[in-house]
Amino acid sequence: MNFIRKFEHYLSALYLFTIITLLITSYFTFKEVINSYNKNQHQSIIPLFSIVNTEIIRPLNTAYFMANDPLLIELIEQDNVSQERLLSYLKAMSIRHNIVTFLAIEKHGINIDSTGEVLSLNSDKVEWYYRLKEQNHTQFADIGNAADPHLFFDIKLFNAKDEFLGFAGVAIDLDHFAKAFAQYSERFGFELVFANEKNEVMLSSNYLMKTDSHHRRDEIVNVNDLDWYQSMLENADEKLLNSIVAFTQGDRVVSQMPLQALNWRMYIISPPASEQQEYWTLFLTRIGLFLLVVLVLYSIFIGFLDFFKHKLVASSETDYLTQLPNRSFLTWKFEELACTYNDICVVIADIDYFKQINDQYGHVVGDAVLKEIAKQLENCLRSGDICGRWGGEEFVMLLPDLTSEQAVEIIERLRKSIASFSFSHSSISQPFNITVSFGICQQQSESQSLDNLLQYADKALYKAKSKGRNRTEYFK
């Protein structure tokens, strides 16, 4: 739950920061246009910022989410990782965000992406892995894949013990990136350049820039070698180069904007403005449309965030096999019920001879038994009762506002119903009966924790087992 709240706050803060930064940028750009004929700079910033957010910042956030997803970390830490589940996860993220997603897992020595390609970490195609692993940074941006260039965001994966697990990341098709900027570049006549912290040009709206990947070392372009940048350095205080600022250089206006999430800078080289009245008309029109779009986008953003949060919470609090609430949900629900009801009956149900069922019929039948028992337990309880899987063949039920006699009556009826049910499965020749033992404890919830009540119920369950199983015992 804390992770969900942090994730929500982080995205909300990022979105608000983007909007506030955009408004501030528009304000100062407007003043600069009046003083230095910077009309096109302002016209270009609004749509450009939206595209940068869509094409770069949002994929980066997706990579961050994957690298901090506890469900994904738990999955890749398993001794026998399921490539099918990894691919399903990557495809879901890829479809949702319309980008290529990938994982490079140290423990299992594989690199897998949403297209289904699986490579060994020793493959030449994964040369980047060990190169980035040795660096102290946790976030990387690079252009790779000579045949089909993509911009890669690589985020290091760590578990709760801060142990390195590998990389999670996304890849942006640079052809798609170029098309996204083509219409704006054509309309405003500007050139767009992205440079990293080393002043190496990573992207340009005019042509693809290279990086220091092993097959491109001789093709690095440094922003210091560009004529307009040298002129900007001569006419600007060095401190201003780390802020949002615009410079007039000959008949062009050069503006820069830091992209702090990547530690990059974005340069916009645009022609000078012409008529002042045209600026006012365009400016007021764009601001009005912009505010409308902001309200719509923010509503969509909050709606999507709530939907995603509910989906993630439901997934993290549901047992995968039985689709019942899991231990985490039961613990949280008990605290909620304890605030409403003075008395709560806690019941532990344990399938009798479940190990023998697994040994005799196999785990497929054992799983089917668990699902059938879960179904019967849930169907026989009241609407306000909670039944969940505690672990293995044990189930826990929370029955609020019941006397001990009522609880025993309900559980006995449930026990007899299960015992009379004839279980069949396609993989077995003869149906068989299943029995369940129950241990019940009722105490005042305000004076007892769930752990204490479970200990008492477990003692009653042990008593039921020792008396021959298929029994209901009550802790007194």
For the chain, where do the domains classified as CATH 3.30.450.20 start and end?
2-175+279-306
Instruction: Say which DSSP state 138 is in.
Output: S
Phi, psi values for residue 269, rounded to 5°:
-110, 110
How far apart are the C-alpha atoms of 414 and 46, rounded to whole Å?
64
The whole model's pTM is what? Answer: 0.43
What would the CATH number be for the domain defined by 327-474? Answer: 3.30.70.270
CATH number assigned to the domain with residue range 190-272, chosen from the 4 options 3.40.1840, 1.20.58, 3.30.2410, 3.40.1130: 3.40.1840
Contact, 125 vs 103, CB < 8 A?
no
In order of 232, 322, 323, 433, 439, the CA distances from 417 in angstroms are 83, 19, 21, 11, 17
For the chain, where do the domains classified as CATH 3.30.70.270 start and end?
327-474
How far apart are the C-alpha atoms of 242 and 296, rounded to whole Å?
32
CA 398 to chain CA mean position, Å: 32
Local confidence pLDDT in tens for the 476 residues of the chain:
455 565 566 667 666 766 776 676 566 555 554 544 445 545 556 666 677 777 778 888 888 999 999 989 999 998 888 889 999 999 999 998 888 999 999 999 999 999 999 999 998 888 889 989 998 889 888 777 656 677 888 999 999 899 999 999 998 877 777 777 766 666 666 777 888 888 887 777 665 444 344 344 455 678 888 877 777 776 665 555 555 555 555 556 777 777 777 778 888 777 655 443 445 555 666 666 667 766 766 676 676 667 666 666 566 678 888 888 888 888 888 888 888 888 889 999 999 999 999 999 999 999 999 999 999 888 888 888 889 998 889 999 999 988 888 888 889 999 999 999 889 888 888 899 999 999 999 877 666 788 888 899 999 999 999 999 999 998 87
- Taking CB atoms within 8 Å and a gap of at least 24, the contacts of 180-184 are 180/51, 180/54, 180/55, 181/48, 181/51, 181/205, 184/44, 184/47, 184/48, 184/51
CA atoms within 13 A on the CB side of 173: 10
For the chain, where do the domains classified as CATH 3.40.1840 start and end?
190-272
DSSP string, 233-272: HHTS-GGGGGSSEEEEETTEEEEEEEETTTTEEEEEEEPP
* Pick from 290, 391, 368, 226: nearest CA to 45: 290
* Homologous superfamily in CATH for domain 2-175+279-306: PAS domain (3.30.450.20)
* Pick from 188, 129, 194: nearest CA to 164: 129
CA atoms within 13 A on the CB side of 116: 0
